[in-house]
Chain A
Amino acid sequence: MSMEEVEEAREEGSHGSMFEGGVEVRVLVVDDSPVDRRVVEGLLKRSGAMFQVIAVDSGKRAMEVLGLTEGKEAEQPTVDDPKIDIILTDYCMPEMTGYDLLKAVKEQSSQKPIPVIIMSSENEPQRISRCRAIGAEDYLLKPLQTNDVLRLRDYVRPTALSPKTGTKRKIAIEMMAENSGSERRPCLAGLAVA
């Protein structure tokens, strides 16, 4: 039996009608700890910010979900119709670390690679710099808080808000690269900057 754990869940925001007709953000959560995966999933679902969560237990599984294999790009471009809008990955994982995954995602030739947020229990400035240097959008300290997951939406912007009615529709998501603006600040030493 494979150790793979791929969970897909749709959840309406806890704010009820406020988010009806809103756009779901598809988050790929990558963490080898089953406890941490569940905690992050719980935070995302309960945040009221319309997240669809796909959780995997390794960088290798994440690459499969993203349609990436070592040395190859995705066969289908991910920009126009991405399966995943944002990646939230643990840093310390066996075999393929979060850093390795970040590098693989950012090395895609696509002009707008998927935003990647790193999670770690270690507040190491060198590690943070390394991740940012190759394009990590943010670095969050574990354990994650509700404020941390709400920030994820800052890195993804829908081009058009399609009401979530009837059957599923494909939604074009435009990645919005935040260039050190006020909305994008590193989360260091457990301080979430508003």
Chain B
Amino acid sequence: MSLMALREQLNGLVNSMFLEGLLDDQFEQLQMLQDESSPGFIAELITLFCGDSERILAELTKLLDQAVVDYQKVDAFVHQLKGSSSSVGAQHVKLACVQFRQFCEEHNKEGCLCALNVVKHEYYLLRGKFDTMLQLEQRIQAYESKQQI
């Protein structure tokens, strides 16, 4: 695939993520922070976000598996995930966390379990697209490096 085709594919993917609401303005702001002095900024941020999110989702799964749920701890983790998803522009994940917190407030275990599934669904959907995004970026960078030689 040519360099132009790769770039078109990447742009198309990112645009579709904006149109579907997976990403919001915040991600666009972050894209503007990437430049020649920090070319891997977005990739680094996505990697940090994914690592942190999966850690939090694992903790939430454990907490909600308990007979007696510590809703304070659950809420603290959901708050963290809401914060980081907001910071990277992961809109659907953020909104799912908002819902989740409401169930925490109500001490509604069933609601929390449902909400956790929604958050996981939204996160893994986003993560799949992020993976594709990063792969395309790597291929583009490899192409550009070859051209410079």
Contacts and interface: CB of A to CB of B under 8 A. Distances in A.
Give the contact-size bracket for chain B: 20 to 34
A38 B86 contact: no
A187 to B, nearest CB: 16
B82 interface: yes
A43 B33 contact: yes
Interface string A31-64: 0111110110011011000000000000000000
Nearest to A122: B79
A32 B55 CA distance: 14
Interface of A: 11, 14, 32-36, 38-39, 42-43, 45-46, 92, 94, 121, 142-143, 145-146
A15 B88 CA distance: 25
12 contacts: A14-B37, A32-B80, A33-B83, A34-B52, A35-B45, A35-B52, A36-B83, A39-B30, A42-B33, A42-B45, A45-B38, A146-B29
B124 interface: no
Given A39-B30, A142-B83, A146-B29, A34 B48 contact: yes
Contacts of A121: 79, 82-83, 86
A184 B84 CA distance: 27
Contacts of B26: 143
Contacts of B84: 33, 35-36
Interface in B7-47: 26, 29-30, 32-33, 35, 37-38, 41, 44-45
A11 B33 CA distance: 13
Interface of B: 26, 29-30, 32-33, 35, 37-38, 41, 44-45, 48-49, 51-52, 76, 79-80, 82-84, 86-89
Contacts of B35: 14, 46
Contacts of A36: 83-84, 87
